[in-house]
Structure 1
């Protein structure tokens, strides 16, 4: 049975992704910075008939929790097949380039970029033990430099979030470098935007969470002929690939 770790998975898109991967027969480690909330989410899934889901305490800003989660998964599975770096925060809004505080930038980058780096570097050895390792970095189309520079983009005036957008651009760049360094291996590593989705993150505006989950899972389970080092946003483009 393949195993997957999803960070920030006790609610929203992360929880939906956990649900869908459980349905597909994977053993799901549901990462939550609050273990009790994680356990409550697992109970919710179990009550609905979903199996092979376990909560693990993982706060991407606290290395000791990441190491502890890694030790648990290594003991129970010996390897990790899929890592979904889903945990993220938007930061305090509004986010004007000339007025937003450095503290706001630091808080968001701590989770959205540094947290991904911490988790990925900690789990890379377990992923290397998988015959078909996959990493999905959950990003956003607002991190696209091309779209942010295009006055014809439908979200041009609405997506000017200097902090959040910058963090996702940086995450996209990290994804490119990670894929490059592992290009001659079985890894498939991509940045995936699930789209503007009805969750607490968006005050429940946007598309359905089930669709967002499917978009992530598509790249978490791609075969060896699938892409790596790419940026996908099916909300932007039905063919999937998004301009950097």
Structure 2
């Protein structure tokens, strides 16, 4: 910017969605744009992000721009923040949607065969069928925590000043973390860990970082149960990462009372992560995050939504 001029904040509300190039993230972008917001669609691949934005333009949604983002790279998040600051001068809504399961599912590439398997089975039976064909390495567990928890934190910290700049407007700044019921504290085997992660008055981001490192150390050494982590080794990293994401949202809400910071479990959505075995479409899953992001000024903060209902983190 010439002479260090500060850009005039956009008159339209501005939203940013991580992992916005496909699946539920793409639908969140589409629904936010359809609601009249300018949307920054981010993707790890610059090419795929641009393609997704062009697809939304084809739906009659011109106010969608794409930007490359690797949530695990602080420099990438910093470049994104500079882009938003220069182009819009603020950020009204941040949806942290990007995430992975961090597992290998040996179910083949035949989508028709997977669909046939689902006939006559309920969601518990389908989940068990997938679990029996799923493995996770220590490297995948580490990547899962790095992307789901640390990635969410890295992006939020880079963009937080821009969301704070929106908090004085009539709409107020919003942060929505997409989480999962799999990350509820009832899955933790130890009462001490459940209590610590429930104690939002004393939790800090430094302690959450320490817990993430401790989990990975225990995962590698086979000490999940003695420490009180979730004991299902296949999904433990995903469960812990989502529990940390939820705890981080509560810390943010506590420390930023002018913002609205909440977590959303969208339901069992059809995604590539679960080989499209979910019982909800991407559009149905996206509606929850969009509704929380666009809720009336003065709404709830520091809450966990199980679909449309406020529920317990435990």
TM-score range, shorter chain: 0.7 to 0.9
- Judged with a 3 Å threshold, the aligned counterparts in structure 2 of structure 1 residues 93 and 163 are, in CA distance, closer, same or farther, namely farther
Q: Report whether the alignment pairs 1:43 with 2:83.
A: no
**Are 1:20 and 2:27 an aligned pair?**
no
1:196 pairs with 268, 285, 290, which one? 268
CA distance in 2, matches of 1:194, 1:126: 26
Q: For residues 95-151 of structure 1, what are the alpha-carbon distances to aligned partners after superposition, in whole Å with 9 as ceiling and x for unaligned? A: 89xx954322211111000011111111111111102000001100000122677xx
- Structure 1 residue 175 corresponds to structure 2 residue 249: yes
1:154 counterpart residue number: none
Q: Distance in 2 between matches of 1:75 and 1:231?
A: 33
Aligned pairs (5 A) from 1:142-153: 142-146=182-186
Task: Tell me the distance in 1 between the aligned counterparts of 2:141 and 2:301.
Answer: 29
Which of 87, 92, 97 aligns to 1:81? It is 92
Once the two structures are superposed, what CA deviation does each residue of 1:180-232 show, in whole Å capped at 9, x if it has no partner? 1112x2x0000111111112122112111111111001111122231100111
Identify the match of residue 230 of structure 1 among 287, 303, 307. 303
3-state SS, counterpart of residue 311 of structure 2: coil
Q: 1:120 aligns with which of 156, 162, 181?
A: 156
For the structure 1 residues 191 and 44, does the alpha-carbon distance in structure 2 shift closer, same or farther, using more than 3 Å as the test? same
Query: Relative to 1, partners in 2 of residues 1:54 and 1:144: Cα closer, same or farther, differing over 3 Å?
Result: same
Aligned to 2:200: none
Cα offset for 1:85?
0.6
Distance 1:160 1:218 in 2: 32
Say if 2:38 is the partner of 1:34.
no
Matching of residue 106 in structure 1 with residue 180 in structure 2: no
Choose 1 or 2 for highest CA Rg: 2
1:215-226 map, 5 Å = 215-226=288-299
Q: Structure 1: which 5+ residue stretches go unaligned?
A: 150-157
Change in Cα spacing, 1:53 to 1:118, as seen in structure 2 (3 Å) is: same
- Residue equivalent to 1:239: 309
Shift of 1:243: 3.8
| Distance in 2 separating the partners of 1:159 and 1:243 | 21
Give distance in 1, aligned partners of 2:186 and 2:302.
Answer: 17
Residues matched between the structures, number: 231
Q: What runs of 5+ residues in structure 2 fail to find an aligned partner? A: 1-11, 106-130, 190-231
**Shift in Å, 1:15:** 0.2
- Superposition TM-score, scaled by structure 2 size: 0.69
**SS at the partner of 1:8?**
coil
**Greater helix fraction, Structure 1 or Structure 2:** 2
CA distance in 2, matches of 1:160, 1:146: 17
Q: Is the 8 A contact 1:88 1:112 kept in 2?
A: yes
What TM-score does the superposition give when structure 1 sets the normalisation length? 0.88
CA contact (8 A) 1:198 1:205 kept: yes
